[in-house]
Amino acid sequence: MKTCNFVNGEIIAVGDEILRGDTLDTNSNYLLKKLFSLGVRVSYLSAVGDNREDISNALKKAMERSEYIFLSGGLGPTEDDITKETLAEVLGLKIKADEKLIEHLKKYYESLGRKLYYSALKQTYVIEGSKILNNSVGLAPGELIETDNNKIFILPGPPKEFKAIVEENFSNYINTKFFIEKRSLNCILLGEASTEKHIRKLNLTDENCQINTYAKSSHTEVDIICYGKNQNELKEKADNIYLKLRKEFKGYYFSDDENPSQALVRMLKENDYTISFAESMTGGLLVSQITSVSGASKVLKESFITYSDDAKIKILGVSAESIKNYKVVSPQVAKEMAYGLKNISHSDICVSVTGEAGPNPSVGKVGEVYIGIIYKDKFYDYCLNLLGNRKEIQRNSVDQILAYLIKILGGSDAN
């Protein structure tokens, strides 16, 4: 889809430990969200090792294509901390000791009763002409260097120090005069390709607004991003697009601040409905998704794990003849389980599931799942043929059942 005309930013994470996989780069994830809120769209994100040539090459490329550049890591006292020196070399600038930073470092070591080694003074050197960004929780400061075409930030790698400098300084030094408004919703059962097709036909995007889809395990996330200088207009535009998408996907979506379990519990509460479950192959996994949500006790009436044939017969009243004639993994048994549950619980919604999770088939094909749902005295039946290992089949079955329930309660044609 069309791309917005963002102010471009680029993040370069420095450190051999990142490239080895020993350290997870949480700083970049945090910074991406922060910059987005400040009107900066990060177009490039990379990691380089503690190598002068690699850092230099990454910097030179970034300076050609990005207005805002953010380097993290490599500001410490050791020999392999060379980010600052490399940046100064690329810019043709000198580094020098800052008296205030030296004094702060001395007082810090005195307070600990420790000897100040010469190597530690490396953290007091700054690039000439830079703005020093105070590190309130550590020793190595951040810096901002401005050139004709770039604003370059260098930040220490430890996450606590990194975040403190960002929170205390960025709103003062990053003023793009642009705003970003984001709205999101989550679509179920359609798949990413079909969801995107529905969006495209509505023709809602332009040069300052984009709609992106992202496939998740149980749904498709849809993000609306509007970008410009008039925040009120952007809010109105984003809201209008959001409402149009809600109308387009009626019965097939839930809001972005919920997961499927939370959405289902909310919808049950809003309608003052109760729900009960009879599980076989999922072994309680389905009801556990409901009980994980605060307030589930207001909607969940009861649940049964009828794993064996005897349990299905004794608790739910499933006919032994049906199990013999159709197999326990069958739509007939799923239906009898649902109606048996209805007779016991008298819940507004009754859900049953039976299937073959594998890895070795017992009575059915591995991945074969049958679901029964009773809602407003109407019976809905579903058949799944899933791939994967045992846990994946069980997990995917639960995801699909939650999606079917959201769809039914959302007022869409359930079949």
CA distance 327 to 5: 59
DSSP code at position 230: -
CA distance 11 to 44: 6
CA distance 84 to 144: 11
How high does pLDDT run on average in the chain? Answer: 94
Residue ranges of the chain assigned to CATH 3.40.980.10: 8-172
Residues 50-80: tens digit of each pLDDT: 999 999 999 999 999 999 999 999 999 998 9
Residue ranges of the chain assigned to CATH 3.30.70.2860: 179-255
For CA atoms 277, 281, 283, 288, give the dihedral sign. negative
Contacts of 294 (CB under 8 A, 6+ apart): none
Residues 161-180: tens digit of each pLDDT: 999 999 999 999 998 888 89
Secondary structure tally for the chain: helices H, strands E: 14, 17
pLDDT bracket for residue 414 (50, 70, 90): very low
Among 81, 222, 85, 62, smallest CA distance to 151 is for: 62
Among 351, 401, 399, 406, smallest CA distance to 373 is for: 351
- Architecture per CATH, domain 8-172, reads as 3-Layer(aba) Sandwich (3.40)
State the amino acid at position 59 in one-letter form.
L
* Residue ranges of E strands in 282-401: 300-305, 349-355, 368-375, 378-385
Torsion angles phi and psi, residue 289, rounded to 5: -70, -35
Q: Which CATH number fits domain 179-255: 3.30.70.2860, 1.10.8.50, 3.40.1260.10, 3.50.50.60?
A: 3.30.70.2860
CA distance 129 to 94: 9
pTM of the complete model: 0.81
Fold of 260-410: Maf protein (3.90.950)
CA distance 200 to 230: 25
Residues 192-225: tens digit of each pLDDT: 999 999 999 999 999 889 999 999 988 999 999 9
